[in-house]
Amino acid sequence: MKIKKREGDLQDFDRTKVYRSVLAAGASQEEANAITDQVQNWIESLNEEVISTETIKNKVIVLLEAQNPVVAQTYQNYKKY
């Protein structure tokens, strides 16, 4: 699976980046692992060759809102991802 960055370049999916960004937003290690696993499973189920970072970010927000709304808000406000 390739990830299309905002700048337009393509990179391989790296679950570590999702994990670190969720952790940096204030999630516990357990929450970050669970969200990362869910995101990876979701991406694999899409059967698409390319997905945007914005689509991944939106999915992470939805998943976080169900588990930890405070962390979801912090993650959503984080502009770099």
With cut-offs at 50, 70 and 90, classify the pLDDT of residue 81. very low
Tokens encoding 2: 């390739």
* Separation of alpha carbons 24 and 58, rounded Å: 17
12-51 tens-digit pLDDT: 999 999 999 999 999 999 999 999 999 999 999 998 889 9
Contact 4, 50 (CB under 8 A): yes
Range list of H helices, the chain: 15-24, 29-46, 53-67, 69-77
Q: Retrieve residue 29's tokens.
A: 């290690």
Q: What is the C-alpha to C-alpha distance for residues 40 and 4, in angstroms, rounded to an integer?
A: 15
